[in-house]
Amino acid sequence: MGLMTNRIMHSILAVAIASTAAIAAKAKPLTVWIMPNGASPQEILEKRLEIYSKKTGIPTKVEVLDWGEAWTRISQALAGQQPAPDVLQLGTTWIPYFASRKEIKPLNENLSTIQPERFVPVSWNTTHIDEDTTIYSVPWFIDIRPVLANKRILAEHGITRDSVRTYEGFKNAIRKINSKDEVLDDGAHVKGFAFPGKSDWNIPHNFAPWIWSNGGSFIKKDENGKWHANILSRETLLGISSYLHFIMDTLVNPEALQTNTAQIAQQFNNGELAFIVSTSEIVMQTRFHGSMGGLSNARIGSDSIMVLPIPKGKVGSVSFIGGSNLAIPASNKRKEAFDLLLFLTEDENLDAYTKQIGFLPPSRKVLQEWAKDEDYNILVRALETGRAYMAIPEWGELEQLLVAMFSAIWEQMEIPSLYSEDKLYETFQQYTAEINKKLNYPTNSMMTAAEFKAAWNKINEEQTPVVEVAKDSTNGVVDDNMKTAPFVFAVMLILGFLFAFLRKRKK
């Protein structure tokens, strides 16, 4: 009996030890790396992950990487130089690079579970390399950049949504606001529009909507499907000129070119700017108090915000679209990693997370609900015509070249003595060659300097504002008198003749 009891006890103990070991193994946390998007992203994500942990018994850990260090940390982790997370956030333009290096896991065998049809096309197209059917990520949120406007300022100037739908209408609205020179109670002058310049990494994103809305592009495929630079096409030059003319027509103060995105956003939040082109997170922030990372108690919160489409160019209104996806390191062996990725991209979690950070959810179903809001309706509709960068592995390097090119242009615009058509052509020519080199594309033929000057001058003639100058009232009277003078002279001559004739008869 005693022997039997001992055997039973040993069996129970063995099972207990095995169970404990299994629980311990199961309890290893799943780690998630994210970047600091919007207001309190870590807090809301950890709340959602608590639901996952309760459901599965697996703890989770969130680590926030600053954008400044994210690329280096992620590159090292995916290359095996430091521990990698189980799931990580990647900017949409980063996906093709890491996918081309086989450093993030293909997800095609799980497509039936992911359900690609749930996502809007402009977002789903960022999950893979251009013209490759292998999927490497799942959409997490969308960064669309519309025109944001201060409702109070627009109302005081009688400016409506319809009046700024076109490029010319937008410029006229800016001119109208600038001419009033409103001064706020803190001494700040209200300006119509401003944007960051050469010291900002968003420069290509800022030029993109004006270029795309005029039919241009940074790169283009030839008849053989090979990518090449498209900077010196007439459509792209028209888009670049459209953006430069905000400075050339003195609608935007050149001092703004010394600022960055954060500083311009702060000016808008302070009620100092009527318009900016920025991320949609500001819209959501106006609905949260400052204690929660919001702006409801800032001046823009009381003035109220309005969302507007990018002003129409030659081919329509095309917004810049970016965002982030979720991926799994290729070296990851845990089955639970995909389960966690799937959980985070469920509609309910996409809705909760994006509502907190202010970016758009990529889910069609969730967007249908968001579209019931007036401001978000504009954003959701803009997804239909908006564009993202090309999903190619070289894009990260191309983007750095574009930053350098546009910074050089802004430097010329900032100091008039540096600006010339020859200098501008040299800049475009240099970076066209460098972009082609990155794309392994031969630069055999290029627009000549003479062709560039002819095209640029014609474009600028079209962009030159037509300013109606009121006639001087005195000159108007003189003009009218000159028109009637012959008639008056004739009448006087006839009357004089009659008077002389009558006098002669009396005599």
The CATH number given to whatever domain includes residue 101 is: 3.40.190.10
* 87 phi, psi to nearest 5 deg: -135, 140
Provide, for the chain, the percentages of residues in helix, strand and coil under a 3-state DSSP scheme, each rounded to the nearest 5. 55, 15, 35
Domain extent for 327: 9-143+322-382
Does 165 lie in the same domain as 77? no
Residue whose token pair is 């309760």: 54
Strand order in the sheet with 147-150: 191-193, 273-277, 147-150, 305-308
Characterize the bridge pairing of strands 30-34 and 87-91.
parallel
For residue 306, the cross-strand partners are 149
Residue 468 lies in a domain: no
Residue 26 corresponds to which tokens in the numbers above? 């199961």
Cα–Cα dist 366/375, whole Å: 15
Does 38 lie in the same domain as 108? yes
* 173 phi, psi to nearest 5 deg: -65, -40
Cα–Cα dist 283/275, whole Å: 13
Residue 473 lies in a domain: no
Does 203 lie in the same domain as 54? no
Question: What total number of domains does the chain contain?
Answer: 2
Q: Can you give the pLDDT at residue 462?
A: 82
The contacts of residue 120 (CB under 8 Å, 6+ apart) are 142, 362, 363, 364, 367, 383
The letter for the amino acid at 2 is G
Per-residue pLDDT of the chain (507 residues; tens, 9 = 90+): 454 445 544 554 444 444 434 443 457 999 999 999 888 899 999 999 999 999 999 999 999 999 989 999 999 999 999 999 999 999 999 999 999 999 999 999 999 999 999 999 999 999 999 999 999 999 999 999 999 999 999 999 999 999 999 999 999 999 999 999 999 999 999 999 999 998 788 999 999 999 999 999 999 999 999 999 999 999 999 999 999 999 999 999 999 999 999 999 999 999 999 999 999 999 999 998 988 888 999 999 999 999 999 999 999 999 999 999 999 999 999 999 999 999 999 999 999 999 999 999 999 999 999 999 999 999 999 999 999 999 999 999 999 999 999 999 999 888 877 789 999 999 999 999 999 999 999 988 899 999 999 999 999 988 765 443 333 333 333 344 434 444 444 444 444 444 444 444 434
Characterize the bridge pairing of strands 147-150 and 305-308.
antiparallel
Residue 193 lies in a domain: yes
The contacts of residue 67 (CB under 8 Å, 6+ apart) are 35, 36
Provide the whole-model pTM.
0.86
What DSSP character marks residue 458? H
Does 285 lie in the same domain as 181? yes
Cα–Cα dist 146/385, whole Å: 12
Residue whose token pair is 């521990």: 83
Its sign, for the CA torsion 217, 404, 252, 380, is positive
Identify whether the C-beta of residue 428 lies closer than 8 Å to the C-beta of residue 473: no
Residue whose token pair is 């845990």: 334
Does 420 lie in the same domain as 300? yes
Does 204 lie in the same domain as 341? no
Q: Give the C-alpha distances (Å, rounded to integers) separating 167 from 49, 197, 440.
A: 45, 20, 36
Does 426 lie in the same domain as 336? no
Cα–Cα dist 478/507, whole Å: 42
Does 86 lie in the same domain as 25? yes
Cα–Cα dist 48/494, whole Å: 99
Does 431 lie in the same domain as 454? yes
Furthest C-alpha separation in the chain: 171
Residue 400 corresponds to which tokens in the numbers above? 């750095």
Residue 463 corresponds to which tokens in the numbers above? 């962009």
Cα–Cα dist 395/21, whole Å: 46
Residue 304 lies in a domain: yes
Does 345 lie in the same domain as 273? no
Residue 110 lies in a domain: yes
Cα–Cα dist 142/361, whole Å: 6
Residue 85 lies in a domain: yes
Cα–Cα dist 95/89, whole Å: 10
Final residue of a structural domain among 382, 401, 423: 382
Identify whether the C-beta of residue 60 lies closer than 8 Å to the C-beta of residue 49: yes
Residue 486 lies in a domain: no
